[in-house]
Structure formats: structure tokens, C-alpha cells
Amino acid sequence: MSRTIHLALHPYGVGGPGQHGLWKDPSVAKNASIDINYYIQQAQAAEHALFDALFVVDSQFINSTYPAHYLNRLEPLTLLSAVATHTRHIGLVGTASSTYNSPFNLARRFASLDHISGGRAGWNVVTSFDTGTSRNFGLDEHLDYATRYGRALEFVQVARGLWDSYEDDAFPADVSRNVFLDPSKLHELRHEGEHFKVAGPLNLSRSPQGQPVIFQAGVSEEGRDLAAQVAEGIYAPGGTLQQAQEYYADIKKRTASYGRDPDHIKIFIHGSPVVAATDEAARRREREIFEEDNDFDRNLALLGRSFGAYDFSVHDLDAPFPDVAHLAEKGGRTGAAKLLERARTENLTLRQIAESVNSFRQSPFVGSPGTVADTIEQWFDAGTFDGINLAFRTTGELNLFVDGVVPILQKRGLFRTEYAADTLRGNLGLPVPDNRHTREPQLVND
């Protein structure tokens, strides 16, 4: 079977980071982020175009400077459970924190979504970017990197153990023998680790895809290693073609080093295509979009997220960038470190750094349908991704991509013309995990 591109849809609602002005667009409903019909329509449009998944991001901390979508949005698993009943094939991937949840509760919620959807659930494992989240969960401060990622690894291991509580044939439901459950096929977990103590079993059987698909997004060393150990899908940072190639190769190499098949981790880069009748019209629209969202105060607030929602407005904008390195350790450490290094080596002011956070950068996926398809094919062949996590500001822009670009990719044999399966795993080409209690033992040669 030839290698083909996977596509996911990341709906913007009324606008997240980098789309601060989206809520002003007359084609965007002002309540989009809390309107379940908006998400159902987005999912159905993506499913009609044969996309692999709908991806919903989340965070559990805000202040008044946050983007419109962050200020008022639905909880992902509640949202996706509703969407599941209006779709049949598209995967449903929700973001949930391993830092601010308990394994039993979250494992049960994702397993429930997996059953409701018939085996289409995915969990995007995050360790929480916003340091202020700690104060919403009774903690004085955010956990450090090592603790957060150690907890995340153990959390996923516990969840997977709970998802294997029942063997696949545990429920004979034989009325003649008065046997609903074969108790020999129900297994306690009895996990005792560094971060969690969970007895189990989970009171829910495995779904048609065995377990929800594990996604992860990380650029730090800890994030990349976590992905290589447990992820089956990963949301990559993208960047230039060369940067995307380097990241792709690094993750695949790390995955193999942990004894896993590199083909069993699908790397998605972020893409915000702008499609128009001509290349010139698309580039013009791309610039217009940037200008619509280019607000300095918002950029300054966005800069603060990498440093624990720090308020940079208290500083002189034209003075050297302040010494806030100590705030990066428990925030967005990787991105913050790059900003600090630039400020130091280039002697930049706070104003210059804030402006650079949202400076105009041309996207590679902008142009006529043919041009966008050509670029996608070029990047795919260059080994930069297995799929693209697509974000469109409006439904109209989604339709331009679906009607213009997708048919070209299909004609070239780069994208499916029908779904291969009813489960997310099946459509991503991922194996159903063996239940640990029925897995054949591995033979060891002397």
C-alpha cells in the first residue's frame, strides 16, 4: 500500500493565538466557540472531505488578555461526545492535561468517548503550558519540567493498563448459563508508581479500536522523548522545510531507539492554507489576514504566556528585554529560551521581541489550488510529515481547500478517495494494541 497523506481539522471558533481579530469577521458567529452546531458542521464538512480527525485544543487557565476563543469555549470531551453522534468515520481527538487530571477518571472519560464513537477517540496528552493553571487546582505553583513529563509518562502507562482491564471476550452474556461476566477475564491493575497509585479495574470494556490513539505535542527534549515512547500521533511545530525534516527524522529515530516501529507514529505539522483563484490573490489575502490580527497589546500579552502569563506591560518597552529567565522553567521553556537567546545575542528591546512574536511569516501553503497541492506534495516527498493539522479561519476557506486542493491530491494518489475503516486507528494505519493479558509471550533466544 502506497504512503498517503493524513489530514486533520483544527477549528478556530472565534479565534485563538494569532487570530485575535477573527471574532470580528462577519462570517464568524460570535458564539461559535460554545455552539455545538458549529463543531458538528465543521466535523461533518471534514468527514465529507475524508479527513482523518477533528482536533480540539484546550487549556484550563485564562486572564482577560487571552484570545477570544480561549475566554469562552466548550470542554473537549463533552464537545466530542456530542460530535460523535453526528459523524461516522472521522477521528475525534481531544486535549487533556496529564498534570491536572487523575488517570482513572480521564481513562474512563476517553474510553467512554471511544465507545460512543465506535472506536474513533484520540487523546492529545499535554503537560499544561499555562503556569496559572496550578492555582485552579489547589497548587501554589506549576510543577517543573522533569516532574510534569515523568508524571505524563506514568499517566499514559496507567491509562493503557486500565483500558486493558477486560479481555475482549470477557462478557459472554449467556442467559442459559446465567453468566454475564467471565470473572477470570477481568484484571485489576494494582499500579503503584512514583506519581500514582491506582488499583483498578476500569468499569468499561475495550472499544473496536482497542484503545484511544495517543497524540502528543512537544518540542523540548522531554517532549520528544515522551512522544517517542508513547505517542501514536504527534503535532509537530512545522517551521521551514528543513526544520520540519529535522524534527521528523529526529522523532522517527527516537521512536526506533525505544524498540517501536517508526511507522506507528504519525507526525502532523500545522498548516493554515490560504487558497484563492491565483497565487497573487492568495498572497494578498494572506497579508490582509496578518494585518487584521496584528495588535501590539495582544502580541505583548501573547509573549507573556511563554513566561507563565507574565505581565510585560509593567516594563519599559524600549529598554533591553528584562531578565525573566527564571519564569521560563515552569512555562513554555523551549520557546522562551529561544526568545531569551535572541534578545541577548541581538541586544533587542522588549518592544522588538513582542513585535517579533507575531511578525509576518509567509506560509508555504498559500496560492491557487494547484500551487498549494504542489507544495504539499513537495513537503510530503521531502520527509517532513505524515499528515497536516489544518486550521482555517472560516468555513468558506475550508471549503476552498476541500473543493480545490483535495481533488488534486486525490488525483495524484496522495490522499484517499474513501475511508479505509470505521476507526481512527484503521484510517491512520495503526495497529490495534494487543491486550496485555492475552498477548503472546515473547520468546527470548539464549
Euclidean distance between CA atoms 113 and 83, whole angstroms: 10
Label residue 167 left, alpha or beta by phi (over 0 means left) and psi (-120 to 50 means alpha): beta
Confidence at residue 358, expressed as pLDDT on a 0 to 100 scale: 72
Q: What is the DSSP string of 265-279?
A: SEEEEEE--EE-SSH
Confidence at residue 443, expressed as pLDDT on a 0 to 100 scale: 45
**Stretch 229-250: mean pLDDT:** 94
Residues 6+ apart with CB under 8 A from 141: 131, 134, 330
Residues 6+ apart with CB under 8 A from 83: 36, 39, 40, 43, 54, 92
The DSSP output letter for 320 is B
φ and ψ at 102, to 5 degrees?
-105, 145
Residues 6+ apart with CB under 8 A from 147: none
211: nearest Cα among 445, 434, 399, 444: 434
Contact 133, 162 (CB under 8 A): no
Euclidean distance between CA atoms 284 and 267, whole angstroms: 30
Burial per residue of 21-37, b for 16 or more beta-carbon CB atoms within 10 angstroms, e otherwise: bbbebeebeeebbbeee
Name residue 143's amino acid. Answer: L
Contact 163, 203 (CB under 8 A): no
Inter-axis angle of helices 350-357 and 296-305, to 10 degrees?
90
Name residue 210's amino acid. Answer: G
pTM reported for the whole predicted model: 0.91
16: nearest Cα among 36, 32, 1: 32
Q: Considering the chain, what is the average pLDDT of its residues? A: 92
Binding residues: 58, 95, 149, 220
Question: How far, CA to CA in Å, does 69 sit from each of 31, 32, 94, 176, 288?
Answer: 9, 9, 16, 55, 21
C-alpha cell at 104: 482513572
C-alpha cell at 261: 516501529
Nearest 5°: CA angle at 75, between 28 and 35?
A: 30
Instruction: Please state, as a whole number, how many other Cβ atoms lie within 10 Å of the Cβ of residue 183.
Output: 7
**Stretch 324-336: mean pLDDT:** 70
CA dihedral of 4, 5, 8, 9, whole degrees rounded to 10: -130
Query: Which range among 71-80, 191-200, 331-340, 369-378 shows the weakest confidence by mean pLDDT?
Result: 331-340
Task: Specify the residue for cell string 494494541.
Answer: 433
Q: Does position 313 have pLDDT exceeding 50, yes or no? A: yes
Confidence at residue 1, expressed as pLDDT on a 0 to 100 scale: 46
In the structure, what pLDDT confidence band is assigned to residue 329 with cuts at 50, 70 and 90?
low
**Full set of structural domains in the chain with CATH:** 6-165+195-279+361-428 (3.20.20.30), 295-357 (no CATH)
Confidence at residue 441, expressed as pLDDT on a 0 to 100 scale: 57
Q: Write the pLDDT tens digit of every residue in 165-220.
A: 999 999 999 999 999 999 999 999 999 999 999 999 999 999 999 999 999 987 88
Does the bond joining 201 to the residue before it have cis omega, within 30 degrees of 0?
yes
**HSE-CB for 92 with a 13 A CA cutoff:** 33
Confidence at residue 144, expressed as pLDDT on a 0 to 100 scale: 85
φ and ψ at 189, to 5 degrees?
-90, -45
**Stretch 382-405: mean pLDDT:** 96
**Stretch 243-257: mean pLDDT:** 96
Contact 232, 242 (CB under 8 A): no
Instruction: Please state, as a whole number, how many other Cβ atoms lie within 10 Å of the Cβ of residue 141.
Output: 11
Binding residues for FMN: 58, 95, 149, 220
Confidence at residue 445, expressed as pLDDT on a 0 to 100 scale: 46
Instruction: Please state, as a whole number, how many other Cβ atoms lie within 10 Å of the Cβ of residue 192.
Output: 9
Q: Does position 142 have pLDDT exceeding 60, yes or no? A: yes
Contact 299, 314 (CB under 8 A): no
Q: Write the pLDDT tens digit of every residue in 252-298.
A: 999 999 999 999 999 999 999 999 999 999 999 999 988 888 888 88
